[in-house]
Amino acid sequence: MTDLKNQPDGKQGFPPILTVSGLRKRFNLEAGFFARFGTFVYAVNDISFTIHENESYGLVGESGCGKTSTARLLVRMYEADSGSIMYRDSTDVLRLEGRDLRSYRGKIKYVFQDPARSLNPRKNICEILTAGSRWSLSWPGKREAREEAATMLEEVGLSKNDLERRPSEFSGGQRQRISIARGLMMKPELLICDEVVSALDVSIQGQILNLLLDIRQKHSLSFLFIAHDLKVACYFCDRIGVMYRGELMEEAEAKDLYKSALHPYTKLLFSSVTGNEVLQNLPERHAHDAVIHSSAAGTGCAFASRCPVAEEKCFREHPGIKEVENGHRIRCLMI
């Protein structure tokens, strides 16, 4: 891996690509045709952040905290209950339909966590890479599309001779490279990487991360980088938002977060990386703490039941997010 000191600084002086404000999404807790309606999981609960040009913004947190749900709202795989998503401060993403929505999705591409499931096993690599542009507004023709696919494969470290092969013939790291190439085919402005290295060996993780850094520099791309590993996120990202139970708990510059973290949950995540014993001193997390029901939405701090510094007011009052210094936001009543 390259030296972290050589990574680009935050890009908050650059124009924003996506501005997310007050985004909310809830799912009915019970599934099935005869399930009762009225008990909800608040997967995304009042999330706000901005991604600027040539910036990598990280969303970090435990599994089930709402990172992937947030990302899927950005590309309209899920429909938001409320809030707004503005593209370049002028386009209301939640109001886009038809041709305009397809055009937007060509600029914001998604790379999934598991390439074995996201790559169609019945198609060869050429068909997989060109499928998106075939139904887009900028289809160049079969021959040109194949040439672009060959170029993109070579850019991610594979060969143009791989175009006729199928996904099952590749390793996990190679399949992830193919997924990245597919995302780049439409020449996007922002790439959403959803846990793209979490299922890979450590040595392969480094290769994929360095590949993404090279791609970012070459194409001046922006990233939404989703991870549960703070070390990986701090290496790759400019800024990081820490999520818990659908809420943004802390946001700060990635290069400073390890030493400037203020929220107890962010400190918990860092302690889990370093093996600190603070994990052993946390209150036990009960099964019912895993979800937020409608009756609990907005009442008390979401982290109060696990927080080592929580007081009585933390269970009664819901904290808003506040800026403690330039670029550093936190959601906590005790700070």
263: amino acid identity, one letter: H
The mean pLDDT of 196-215, rounded to a whole number, is 90
Left (φ > 0), alpha (ψ -120 to 50) or beta: where does 330 sit? beta
Query: CA-to-CA distance for 157 and 144, rounded, in angstroms?
Result: 20
User: Pairing mode, if any, of strands 322-325 and 239-244?
Assistant: unpaired
Q: Which two tokens stand for residue 62?
A: 């435990």
> Is it the case that residue 261 has pLDDT exceeding 80?
yes
* Two tokens, residue 261: 């973290």
Supply the pLDDT for residue 335.
86
Q: Is residue 35 over pLDDT 70?
A: no
Residue 262 Cα distances to 51, 122, 228, 249, 295, angstroms: 22, 49, 18, 10, 29
| Residue 325 clears pLDDT 80, i.e. is over it | yes
> What is this structure's pTM?
0.87
Cα(47)–Cα(56) distance, integer angstroms = 17
Average pLDDT (214-231) is: 93
Burial of 257-291, coded b for 16+ CB within 10 Å and e otherwise, reads: bbeebbbbbbbbbbbeeeeeeeeeeeeeeeeeeeb
pLDDT for the residue 131: 87
User: Coil, strand, or helix at residue 250?
Assistant: strand
Which has the minimum average pLDDT: 3-7, 28-32, 186-190, 315-319?
3-7
Please state the rounded mean pLDDT for residues 106-119.
89
d(CA 79, CA 97): 12
Sheet holding 91-92, edge to edge: 40-52, 16-28, 82-87, 91-92
Distance CA 15, CA 107 (A): 16
What is the rounded average pLDDT of the residues 96-107? Answer: 92
| Whole-number average pLDDT of the chain | 86
Residues 6+ apart with CB under 8 A from 323: 329
pLDDT tens readout for residues 277-300: 444 444 444 333 444 433 345 579
Domains defined for the chain, CATH in brackets? 4-116+188-330 (3.40.50.300)
Q: At 148, is the pLDDT very low, low, confident or very high (cuts 50, 70, 90)?
A: very high
Lowest mean pLDDT among 199-208, 218-227, 242-251: 199-208
